[in-house]
Amino acid sequence: MGAESKSRGCFWWLLVIAIATILVVAAAVTLVHRHKKNGGGSSKSHPKATYLGSAAYSQALVLSLTFFDIQKSGKLPASNPINWRGDSALKDGSDVGLDLSGGMYDAGDHIKFSFPMAFTSTLLSWGVLEYGAQMSAAKQLDAARDIIKWITDYLIKTHPSRNELYFQVGDPAIDHACWQRPEDMDEFRPSYILNSTLPGSEVAAEVAAAMASASLVFRDDQTYSSKLLKHARELFEFANSSRISYTSSYEVDQTYYNSTSFGDELLWAASWLYHATGEESFLSYVTGSDGELYAEWEKAPAWLSWDNKVPGVQVLLSRQQILTGQSGSGLTQTGLAKYRKTADELMCAYLPDSPTATKDRSDGGLIWVIQWNPIQHAVNAALLALIYSDYLFTSNTKLKCSGEVYSPEDLRSFAISQANYLLGKNPIGMSYLVGYGSNYPQNVHHRAASIPSDAKKYACKEGFEWLSAEGPNPHVVTGALVGGPFQNDSFVDSRNNTMQNEATTYNSAALVGLMAGLTSTNQVTLSAWK
């Protein structure tokens, strides 16, 4: 899976990973030495962003959407373009008498985690809502909508009643003891439930956010949109009433997608419900006492991720104020002003020349926060910056950072710099988007891609020979956005390098919106959602 903290099941599997990690770090140390010897090091060097052209970003958009077809679980449509993928996990949910087939695998393994899957859907919906016109011009809007619906159709099935949510299919200990194609799986795949006895606020709230945001995407289908909104309301009420982390109910998931708080997801869900319904009660929720508790107003900038939605909330709620001039009254006005101020501070942290610029960057200028899947934070930051730049452009507003004034174009330039880095404009010339350019990872940590189409069924452990096999994966994981470099911009293309060389759906979700927005040669004028 793609979370920052992982366990790989049985002892020998852990040993394999440990040895591989030592080798990766050793290789990285060597690269650090070479980098410094050649004039690199820790000196600040932020490459000037050059717009690569609409065609380049359109190509990246097409590729990034392709990855989701690779990750699909369940009965695949006849139109599925990935010839080395087939139907898988068709019996999911049978242990509880439900059909829980469908959805997506989060990364290179085969567990279905609704927490990151729902976040993936929410980010995709946000990208469509802001840059749907650009996706349409690139002939990719239908593909993006289809991917969102593939996920939300599954999420609907996981919510059979008001206070019941099946949030995971697959036992990590069983799954991580295997290396095989998803089509070959015949191991027991248990279904895990959240309910009044075993609550989980952050997962229920994130699924509510996914449903609410998707209800806006599918406004042209009133029946489906209303259905999504009904589930979103019920799930938000379930999440808000319990206020207990899902990892308290299921401690095993602390090893995988360990949530540090449920408060950010509650605000995230309420913000999307406000945009979807226009109901003031949701605005009062995020600007009142719950905002005081969880919004991190005027604190040091945080980084948007599957675990922390606060930066997304700050930008999303600033949208209303910037584009419509809505400021509310009393506590609502004060709360919205605090979200806007904190969002401004976040944008100032992104800008490399700002007096309050973050130092969390690689030597080559990539936003770099942690060594496990660092690209997640960079691509999310770029998406937020691009969206915010277009908010400011639409309202003819500038950004002030400790007395310095910056234009919307400055923020767009930052977003371009991050996008370009991902596409290969970096110190080692590596495209971290598989299939883009000529130099991209060949050994992505991805079970299905690593095993050839040899008409042989591999049992649980029989496929491990392909984990350690020499040579590139027999199948290209087209559109995968892998974890990315060390802080010194080095990267080790190894199948065992899960820290850098595993891709996730939520990485790609942010990339879709980012690349769609950049297909426009100029700033994009945005409008209020109706």
Strand (E) or helix (H) holding 167: strand 165-169
What b/e string do you get for 76-112 counting C-beta neighbours within 10 Å, with b at 16 or more? beeeeebeebeebbeebbeeeeeebbbbbbbbbbbbb
Model confidence at 530, pLDDT cuts 50, 70, 90, reads low
Answer yes or no: 110 catalytic: no
65: left (phi over 0), alpha (psi -120 to 50) or beta: alpha
- Rounded CA separation 508/497 (Å): 19
**Cβ distance 436 to 482 under 8 Å?**
no
Kindly tell me if the per-residue pLDDT of 12 is higher than 80.
no
pLDDT in tens, 275-304: 999 999 999 999 999 999 999 998 878 999
Q: What is the DSSP letter of 104?
A: B
pLDDT in tens, 298-338: 887 899 999 999 999 999 999 988 998 765 667 788 999 99
Q: Give every CB contact of residue 475 below 8 A, 6+ residues apart in sequence.
A: 84, 448, 449, 450, 452, 453
Q: What is the pLDDT of residue 31?
A: 40
346: tokens are 């976040």
**Beta-carbon neighbour count of residue 520 at 10 Å?**
18
Phi, psi dihedrals of residue 264, rounded to the nearest 5°? -65, -35
Average confidence (pLDDT) over 358-383? 97
Tell me the whole-structure pTM to 2 decimals: 0.92
Give percent of the chain with pLDDT exceeding 90.
Answer: 85
Give percent of the chain with pLDDT exceeding 70.
Answer: 90
pLDDT in tens, 343-355: 999 999 999 999 9
Scanning 363-438, the segments in alpha helix (DSSP H) are: 375-394, 408-422
Model confidence at 46, pLDDT cuts 50, 70, 90, reads low
Least confident residue range of 32-46, 275-289, 480-494: 32-46
Kindly tell me if the per-residue pLDDT of 169 is higher than 50.
yes
Q: How many CA atoms lie within 13 A of 261 on its CB side?
A: 14
Q: What is the pLDDT of residue 466?
A: 96
Kindly tell me if the per-residue pLDDT of 27 is higher than 90.
no
Strand (E) or helix (H) holding 487: none
Pairing, β 165-169 against β 191-194: antiparallel
The CATH T-level fold of domain 11-518 is Glycosyltransferase (1.50.10)
- Rounded CA separation 229/418 (Å): 34
Q: Tell me which of 377, 445, 446, 475 is the catalytic residue.
A: 445
Q: What is the mean pLDDT of the chain?
A: 91
Nearest to 312 by CA among 46, 126, 506: 126
Model confidence at 254, pLDDT cuts 50, 70, 90, reads confident
**Cβ distance 395 to 326 under 8 Å?**
no
**Cβ distance 199 to 242 under 8 Å?**
yes
Task: Report the length, in residues, of the chain.
Answer: 530
- Rounded CA separation 200/300 (Å): 27
- Rounded CA separation 282/217 (Å): 19
Scanning 395-425, the segments in alpha helix (DSSP H) are: 408-422
- Rounded CA separation 336/330 (Å): 10
Model confidence at 529, pLDDT cuts 50, 70, 90, reads confident
